[in-house]
Amino acid sequence: RAACGLSFMAPPKGSAAKPLHKKQVAVMGAGGPMGAITFGFLQRASSLYGTGLGNYRTVCACADTAMRLNSILSKNFCLSFANEANIKITDLSSVESIASRLQGWDALVLGSDLAVSQRPVTGNTYEKSPNDKCFELYWKAPSNLVRPDNEAEIIDSLLQNIVEAAKVADIQHIVYVDEPNGTPAGRTLLEKKQNPTHLDSASWRFDCFARLHISKGNARELTFDTKWEPRRVCV
């Protein structure tokens, strides 16, 4: 935390400190298993007044994320569904496009265990021709995902765009979940930036708004408290 400019003596207060001021949180890579589970927990927590969480969304490159996200939500969260109000398709190769989807939002959550796959650009979005392709970002690779040989290079480029877009959109917090199987590229990129936004580097938990507990690679419990003293929450 010291490298991120955070103090051990005075940790930042989470959104639960002022629950009336609803915070808006975006998730990157929600087409992947971990991204979808994180989205689901945020969706559940936003319905509880004490969390201080309000709107939630994912920013993605194509409709494949919508299909995969809703498939995971339906299996893990009762009656959970994400529609076009929560899924914002944008050109991840464009800083301006990403920033337009993050403008006015408070926090951005992404993990280090990332994967990409080339997909067709969804019609009537940002395509320039019927055969346009894009690279979609997934937080943890879904099964049977076709991944390019130069995946690491593509992920680095997309992360660069996301961080720059967060700076343009004046995002207050980037919550970067540092995972055992993740690449260090994201952490290195974020730490090299000269405080483009308030960086919180999480180790399998949310530092800003809540704490996500992981067991054997799967999300099990979400806790939150105004004094950062975890209390169990049914989600």
Q: Tens digit of pLDDT for each residue in 86-108?
A: 999 999 999 999 999 999 998 89
* pLDDT at 211 exceeding the cut of 90: no
Least confident range of 8-12, 48-52, 66-70: 8-12
The pTM assigned to this predicted structure is 0.78
- What is the reported pLDDT for 226? 35
Interval 152-179 mean pLDDT: 87
Percent of the chain with pLDDT over 90: 47
Interval 125-140 mean pLDDT: 94
* pLDDT at 31 exceeding the cut of 90: yes
- What is the reported pLDDT for 174? 82
* pLDDT at 17 exceeding the cut of 80: no
* pLDDT at 9 exceeding the cut of 90: no
Spatial contact of 51 and 16, defined as CB atoms under 8 Å apart? yes
Compute the residue count for the chain. 235
- What is the reported pLDDT for 175? 81
* pLDDT at 229 exceeding the cut of 60: no
3-state secondary structure the chain: CHHHCCCCCCCCCCHHHCCCCCEEEEEECECCHHHHHHHHHHHHHCCCHHHCEEEEEEEECCCHHHHHHHHHHHHHCCCCCCCCCCEEECCCCCHHHHHHHHCCCCEEEEECCEEEEEEECCCCCCCCCCCCEEEEEEECCCCCCCCCCCHHHHHHHHHHHHHHHHHHCCCCEEEEECCCCCCCHHHHHHHHCCCCCEEEEECCCCCCCCEEEEECCEEEEEECCCCCCCCEECC
Q: Distance of CA 177 to CAs 34, 58, 132, 139, 224, Å?
A: 10, 16, 31, 10, 17
- What is the reported pLDDT for 220? 43
Q: Is 86 left (phi over 0), alpha (psi -120 to 50) or beta?
A: alpha
Spatial contact of 117 and 62, defined as CB atoms under 8 Å apart? no
- What is the reported pLDDT for 65? 97
| Calpha distance 166→197 (Å, rounded) | 7
* pLDDT at 117 exceeding the cut of 70: yes
The amino acid present at 183, given as its one-letter code, is T
Interval 194-210 mean pLDDT: 41
pLDDT band for position 66 (cuts 50, 70, 90)? very high
Average pLDDT, the chain: 78
- What is the reported pLDDT for 133? 96
* pLDDT at 44 exceeding the cut of 80: yes
Interval 132-161 mean pLDDT: 94
